[in-house]
Amino acid sequence: MSLREVLRSCGVSRREFLQYCTAVSATLALPQTFAPQIAEALENEDGRPSVIWMEFQSCSGDSEAILRSGRPKIGEIVLDVLSVDYMEVIMAASGHLAEEAKEQAMEKNMGKYLLVIEGAIPVNDDGVYCCVAGDTAINHLKKAAAGAAAVIAVGNCASFGGIPAGHPNPTGAKGVQDIVSGKPVVNLPGCPCNADNITALVVHYLVFGDLPAVDRHLRPKFAYGKRIHDNCERRGHFDAGQYVDAWGDDAHKKGWCLYKMGCKGPETFHNCPTIRFNDGLSWPVMAGHGCVGCAEPGFMDTMAPFYGRLPNIPGFGVESQATKIGVKLAGAVAAVFAVHGILNMIRNKGMVKKVEAEHLDHDKTEEGGK
Ligand code: SF4
């Protein structure tokens, strides 16, 4: 059955499909004019790459993210019809039959399939802490990667080791990029990763025959090129010095900034605020919880405690103007973060000199921020 037929049988109109293609082009930071090209590539049955999805040290959260909907959305249909030849979570076969299905899919598409890896790979004690079908995750990964066109690591665990690699990392959990060599690797970290980014990545590969540009952590720039903090809908409150001080307080109810509650948005690069989750319905900060930084290397260790304020902010940028005013705050970045919005407000009112004279201290600033 062709993609067009499947979409029709699922009640998806041509118009909705084209709208979806336009949304994918936006996710990929392409002009809308690419939408027809994307539609054509998706509908071209001959050009569909095979996808083999393997899971190791994982909670299946990334599989759930892509399969979650009771009402399948177009992206899921597209991915499903497109190419997924092997995926343990959804396939009917198990045991030897499942292994045979994987071997067949690899053999049939040798050198051409996209290998998707979910979960970390333990290397301590020869990898015995994760075995599938009597062999270690390391061996499964190396073998599958050898025949792949490219390897896509979905979720923070497959990208950087994630939660299994948290201190003291007893199993020696690592990310795909630490195991695989000689093949292009793309990381789609997140906990879970966003299914729309997986679809967009596959679509990019279909349309351009290549993988998208990546950053130094091998993350596609279209999805990880901007700080969460810079696209956050609460940013206006951050700039205005309006912060939540306690869960459930008035500021929280009003949707003010969650920086003081430990939000890691200023240090995290991801497109959560723009594409969101669940059909664009919401994302953690929109739902009232700070970002936990799950798209960054070293998560969770580097982002813990989740409810502790960031001690240091890279790329402080325009905010650094605040340090010129509040000299007492120069050595305390967290404090500067708390006051800079207020200083901006005050500056706008032509009161900077008055503030300088008063040597605004941190407590006073927090009080003013409420
Ligand atoms: Fe949004 Fe968090 Fe930045 Fe506040 S600190 S603006 S909640 S990303």
Is residue 244 lining ligand 1, measured as CB closer than 6 Å?
no
What are 122's strand-pairing partners? 173
Note the pLDDT tens digit of each residue in 55-91. 999 999 998 887 765 556 666 677 666 667 788 887 7
Domains along the chain with CATH numbers: 3-224 (3.40.50.700), 228-369 (4.10.480.10)
pLDDT averaged over every residue in the chain: 82
Is residue 289 lining ligand 1, measured as CB closer than 6 Å?
no
Chain CA centroid to CA 13, Å = 29
Q: How far is the CA of 238 from the centre of ligand 1 (A)?
A: 7
The answer to whether the beta carbons of residues 333 and 317 sit under 8 Å apart is no
Is residue 309 lining ligand 1, measured as CB closer than 6 Å?
no
Token code pair at residue 109: 């598409």
Is residue 260 lining ligand 1, measured as CB closer than 6 Å?
no
Using alpha carbons, select from 95, 74, 82, 7 the residue that is nearest to residue 41: 82
Is residue 340 lining ligand 1, measured as CB closer than 6 Å?
no
| Residue closest by Cα to atom 4 of ligand 1 | 257
| pLDDT, position 83 | 65
Ligand 1 closest atom vs CA 258: 7
| pLDDT, position 330 | 28
- Residue 184 CB neighbours (<10 A): 14
Element (H, E) at 204: helix 195-208
Q: Return the best residue to mutate from 226, 227, 228, 229 for the ligand 1 pocket (most ligand atoms within 8 A of CB).
A: 229
Angle CA 237–240–242, to nearest 5: 55
CB proximity list for 124: less than 8 A, separation 6 or greater? 170, 171, 172
Ligand 1 closest atom vs CA 235: 6
Is residue 310 lining ligand 1, measured as CB closer than 6 Å?
no
Chain CA centroid to CA 359, Å = 41
State how far the Cα of 62 lies from the Cα of 74, in Å rounded to an integer.
Answer: 18
| pLDDT, position 335 | 35
Mean pLDDT (whole number) for 100-107: 91
Angle CA 279–161–83, to nearest 5: 45
Q: How far is the CA of 228 from the centre of ligand 1 (A)?
A: 7
Note the pLDDT tens digit of each residue in 265-296. 999 999 999 999 887 889 999 999 999 999 99
Distance in angstroms between the alpha carbons of the first and the last residue of the chain? 59
Q: Counting runs of H as helices and runs of E as strands, what totals does the chain give?
A: 19, 9
Pick the more confident residue, 4 or 298: 298
Mean pLDDT (whole number) for 332-357: 35
| pLDDT, position 51 | 87
What are 277's strand-pairing partners? 282
| pLDDT, position 2 | 78
Using alpha carbons, select from 47, 39, 44, 48 the residue that is nearest to residue 79: 48
Give percent of the chain above pLDDT 90: 52
Pick the more confident residue, 355 or 156: 156
Query: Angle, nearest 10°, between helix axes 35-43 and 195-208?
Result: 90
| Residue closest by Cα to atom 5 of ligand 1 | 259
State how far the Cα of 109 lies from the Cα of 267, in Å rounded to an integer.
Answer: 40
Q: How far is the CA of 229 from the centre of ligand 1 (A)?
A: 5
| pLDDT, position 6 | 80
Looking at this protein, which amino acid is placed at residue 188? L
Q: How far is the CA of 337 from the centre of ligand 1 (A)?
A: 11
| pLDDT, position 366 | 39
Is residue 21 lining ligand 1, measured as CB closer than 6 Å?
no
Is residue 258 lining ligand 1, measured as CB closer than 6 Å?
yes
Least confident span in 145-149, 175-179, 354-358: 354-358
Note the pLDDT tens digit of each residue in 192-228. 999 889 888 988 988 888 999 999 999 999 999 999 9
CB proximity list for 242: less than 8 A, separation 6 or greater? 251, 254, 256, 257, 341, 369
